[in-house]
Structure 1
Amino acid sequence: MRILKITDEISIKRSVDSGTEEQRAIVKGIIAKVREDGDQALKDFTEKFDGISLANIAVTEEEKWEAYEEIDEEILAIIREAAANIRSFHEKQLRPSWMTTDENGTMLGQKVTPLDSVGLYVPGGTAAYPSSVLMNVLPAKVAGVTRIVITSPPDKKTGKLPPAVLVAAQEAGAEEIYKVGGAQAIAALAYGTETIAPVDKITGPGNIFVALAKREVFGDVDIDMIAGPSEIAIIADDMAKPAEVAADLLSQAEHDVFACSVLVTPSEALAAAVASEVEKQLTELPRREIASQSIENFGAIYVTDTMEEAINTINSLAPEHLEIMTENPLELLGKIKHAGAIFLGRFSPEPVGDYFAGPNHVLPTNGTARFSSPLNVEDFQKKSSIIYYSEKALKENGEKISAFARLEGLEAHARAIDIRLRDEGERT
């Protein structure tokens, strides 16, 4: 693993999200076909890309309950406990509608309303991601969304979704589930087919074709974000254990060949020890080929002169996941400005947040933590401003409002105020 001085170029940005011209053309073609042919297009693309012919794209009630018979009881208990933790955390994010009143009779406020419907994409095909189900469904449920739709690619052999995904969906409260993946699933959620009614917002991670499809339909529906490959940054001092730091770096590297794993430390001794540990642990990983490419292309250890310089570096990176593995991590917390999720101390490795603790694991990537937040309850709500002006308030402020309108050259705006002031004057 490369060890660099902080004077070297440092970045976790990877320009893979925009895709190639060919990929964008494929996605546009898929979306157009789904809009034109509906369910038949979904079945055709499922056969083409997933290698399986489906008579029915909807998950049946029988399939849902078969999933409970196939899943281990211990795993079911873990899913339920994780769901309880995630629900509890997100319930604390709820904000009520509010209203204020003034002495002149003015009432101003904000009405918080849940979205009517959301579509949640769960990646799959060769793997199962029940954690993605919980992290997307539960904040939507807490927000009050009444229709929650899940789409996920079917298993290439069975034509079904993984039992853990189906169980997680039902435990979280999502009943409308479809065996559709890829850009075609995003198109169906955005524009609808004979079977799948369109939704108002789409969330959830996916491959480059899913990301490009989300980008393409944005504006017709809302989306959560265009998620890039996973990333982790660790800021550490001499108290950190090299084996643990290396394990945490590799926990993200095994995700994807584009994943980024970075250690920033003022300790040259730690840097050298971690580099050695990474190489050692790589040989033992089942996904070592993926992790090795990730570490080689996007992994680095940066050595700074001071801890303050290390903190500045982290804020410049704005990583998706940040672990603070120092003697007193709470002392550094207030100095961190940009990070999707912050993990404090050696007993809070990143997988704790991925699966169980409660905070959402759908996080801003590629430096967007500078201006973005983790997926949360507010992502599934919208806000309406409430304005009630009394007669007294309009008399007090009407001439100022008219003057402001005329300042911008909008005479009709001004007259909409003037006509009311004149009418009230004539009555008196």
Structure 2
Amino acid sequence: MTAQTSPVSFDAFRTIDLRGAQLSAADLKGAMPRSETASFDSVASRVEDIIDDVRSRGFDALSDLAQRFDGVTQPHPRVPAKALKEALESLDPDVRAALEESIDRARVFALAQKPQDVSVNIRPGAALTQRWVPVNRVGLYVPGGLAVLASSVVMNVVPAQAAGVESIALASPPHKDFGGMPHPVILAAAALLGIDEVYGIGGAQAIAAFAYGVRAEGDREAIAPVDVVTGPGNIYVATAKRLVKGVVGIDAEAGTTEIAVLADGTAQARLVAADLISQAEHDPNAASVLITPSEELAAAVRSELAAQVPATRHRERVETALSGPQSGTILVDDVEHGIAVCDAYAAEHLEIHTADAAAVAGRIRNAGAIFVGDYSPVSLGDYCAGSNHVLPTAGTAAFASGLGVHTFLRSMQVIDYSADALREVSAHVVELAKAEDLPGHGDAVRVRFS
């Protein structure tokens, strides 16, 4: 906290009054507060140019882009093993202890998520198995913009390791102040997890290098392409992930962070305000949304924001986020109406501050992660809950999931029929092949019994 400063007005924390509105699902979705920042379409051509440049010029392109975007001279982006070791040795003991606790809790939850193989005998001699197999290699992206997101190293690496991925590479933007390498705390977190393949590459160029690989040039060691790319980032990172999807798997097009709080008159305004601020400090474009049927609570939260924001370290960033079109209060008729609004908004992070919060949380269909009650703030999930904080944003929680062990696994079906089991169903195969005018399919069964 900083010293006392003058209070601010939060009239700019706008109000959307949906009370009494009879809106269709589509109209309700359209009424949600969203950022007016750059869209995928507006940056797609620039991102395509970066991807094409990395594909065609390899390390020369990466060096030029590091100079252009990060102001660093970089012959090769790989972080030396010595630098990783030194970063871990110099890490503040308290920060190390916090990271170790975060890792331990995340690993417990990640290992519990791993699905079991399933085998079924459809008929005697007709065996089907679904096997879960980890991808061979992944590329994990850790942002390095306004915040040093060492916790994102944990959130990306732990589930990949729990899934059994054998080859893990990590990229984070290089910093001029750190010799063209990522922030030392990010390096230390990687070393703590045993990750020795770390690159100082930021933005869309990191996604391109992982998706397509970079060939060896002279004494410059190659970067092998990966099977899956994960991790949050800005609009350029999210657009790059969209453009390489299909070449590699991706987790989601995670963008700027957001929090929604569903609260009724029983909620504590000071807690709600503190949690809205906690996400607003990430980025000027971060979204902080209060959904409530209580005008009294809405007014109390605005008063708390006016009292708390001046004392927060990133006051200017927070004020910008809270006064943006992506933030504000949505007034609803009741908690039932609030649940519908929550599902329309599909928040990355959704907090429930209502009577019987657990029951309300159980009725939510669309959210990246749900935080129940006074003692489960989003910041707990960001660091030490054991859950994963890499979550879908911008409404994509309606169809996408947060990062987890499943992100790094694929299912493989195994079919094992005996002669008698095939004979039992052979006539059906032949008839369906005829119906689809694919007689060769039927012949492939007949030939086995001729």
Q: Summarize deviations over 1:66-114 as a string: whole Å, max 9, x none.
A: 1123211111111111100001110100122232224521110111111
Equivalent-residue separation in structure 2 for 1:322 and 1:357 (angstroms): 15
Q: Summarize deviations over 1:357-381 as a string: whole Å, max 9, x none.
A: 1011111111121222111101101
The residue aligned with 2:282 is: 255
The answer as to 2:272 corresponding to 1:245 is yes
The residue aligned with 1:420 is: 448
Equivalent-residue separation in structure 2 for 1:18 and 1:264 (angstroms): 25
The answer as to 2:95 corresponding to 1:75 is yes
CA deviation after TM superposition for structure 1 residue 14, in Å: 4.2
Normalized against structure 2, the TM-score is what? 0.89
Cα contact 1:12–1:366 (8 A) shared by 2: no
CA deviation after TM superposition for structure 1 residue 228, in Å: 2.2
Equivalent-residue separation in structure 2 for 1:287 and 1:397 (angstroms): 68
Say which SS state the counterpart of residue 358 (structure 1) adopts. Answer: coil
CA deviation after TM superposition for structure 1 residue 122, in Å: 0.8
CA deviation after TM superposition for structure 1 residue 140, in Å: 0.2
The answer as to 2:192 corresponding to 1:171 is yes
Choose the corresponding residue for 1:63, options 83, 87, 97. Answer: 83
Say which SS state the counterpart of residue 233 (structure 1) adopts. Answer: strand
Residue identity opposite 1:69 in structure 2: E
Equivalent-residue separation in structure 1 for 2:147 and 2:328 (angstroms): 28
Equivalent-residue separation in structure 2 for 1:127 and 1:160 (angstroms): 16
The residue aligned with 1:277 is: 304
The residue aligned with 1:426 is: none
The residue aligned with 1:328 is: 356
Choose the corresponding residue for 1:147, options 147, 167, 171. Answer: 167
The residue aligned with 1:289 is: 316
Choose the corresponding residue for 2:158, options 127, 133, 138. Answer: 138
Choose the corresponding residue for 2:208, options 177, 187, 191. Answer: 187
Equivalent runs, 1:14-413 vs 2, <5 Å: 14=35, 16=37, 18-21=39-42, 23-124=43-144, 127-158=147-178, 159-193=180-214, 194=216, 195-296=222-323, 297-413=325-441
Normalized against structure 1, the TM-score is what? 0.94
Say which SS state the counterpart of residue 206 (structure 1) adopts. Answer: coil
Moved more, 144-153 or 243-252: 243-252
CA deviation after TM superposition for structure 1 residue 222, in Å: 1.1
Q: Summarize deviations over 1:318-340 as a string: whole Å, max 9, x none.
A: 11111111232112122111111
Say which SS state the counterpart of residue 311 (structure 2) adopts. Answer: coil
Residue identity opposite 2:115 in structure 1: R
Equivalent-residue separation in structure 2 for 1:299 and 1:102 (angstroms): 53
Equivalent-residue separation in structure 2 for 1:135 and 1:155 (angstroms): 22
Equivalent-residue separation in structure 2 for 1:102 and 1:336 (angstroms): 36
Residue identity opposite 2:200 in structure 1: K
The residue aligned with 2:7 is: none
Cα contact 2:85–2:191 (8 A) shared by 1: no
Residue identity opposite 1:4 in structure 2: I
Moved more, 144-153 or 409-418: 409-418
Equivalent-residue separation in structure 2 for 1:125 and 1:345 (angstroms): 31
Say which SS state the counterpart of residue 309 (structure 1) adopts. Answer: helix
5+ residue gaps, structure 2, are: 1-12, 22-27, 217-221
CA deviation after TM superposition for structure 1 residue 141, in Å: 0.3
Equivalent-residue separation in structure 1 for 2:300 and 2:377 (angstroms): 19
1:169 and 1:254, CA in 2 relative to 1: closer, same or farther beyond 3 A?
same
Equivalent-residue separation in structure 1 for 2:164 and 2:206 (angstroms): 24
Aligned length: 421
1:274 and 1:235, CA in 2 relative to 1: closer, same or farther beyond 3 A?
same
Cα contact 2:233–2:255 (8 A) shared by 1: no
The answer as to 2:32 corresponding to 1:4 is no
Cα contact 1:141–1:173 (8 A) shared by 2: no
Equivalent-residue separation in structure 1 for 2:432 and 2:282 (angstroms): 55
5+ residue gaps, structure 1, are: 424-428
C-alpha RMSD over aligned residues: 1.8
1:225 and 1:17, CA in 2 relative to 1: closer, same or farther beyond 3 A?
farther
Cα contact 2:88–2:189 (8 A) shared by 1: no
Equivalent-residue separation in structure 2 for 1:307 and 1:127 (angstroms): 35
Cα contact 1:89–1:358 (8 A) shared by 2: yes
What is the percent sequence identity of the aligned residues? 43
CA deviation after TM superposition for structure 1 residue 414, in Å: 2.2
CA deviation after TM superposition for structure 1 residue 12, in Å: 4.2
Cα contact 1:3–1:271 (8 A) shared by 2: no
Equivalent-residue separation in structure 2 for 1:358 and 1:189 (angstroms): 27
Residue identity opposite 1:314 in structure 2: C
Equivalent-residue separation in structure 1 for 2:35 and 2:448 (angstroms): 57
Cα contact 1:125–1:155 (8 A) shared by 2: no
Residue identity opposite 1:415 in structure 2: D
Q: Summarize deviations over 1:127-158 as a string: whole Å, max 9, x none.
A: 42111100000000000000000011111222
Residue identity opposite 2:428 in structure 1: K
CA deviation after TM superposition for structure 1 residue 126, in Å: 5.5
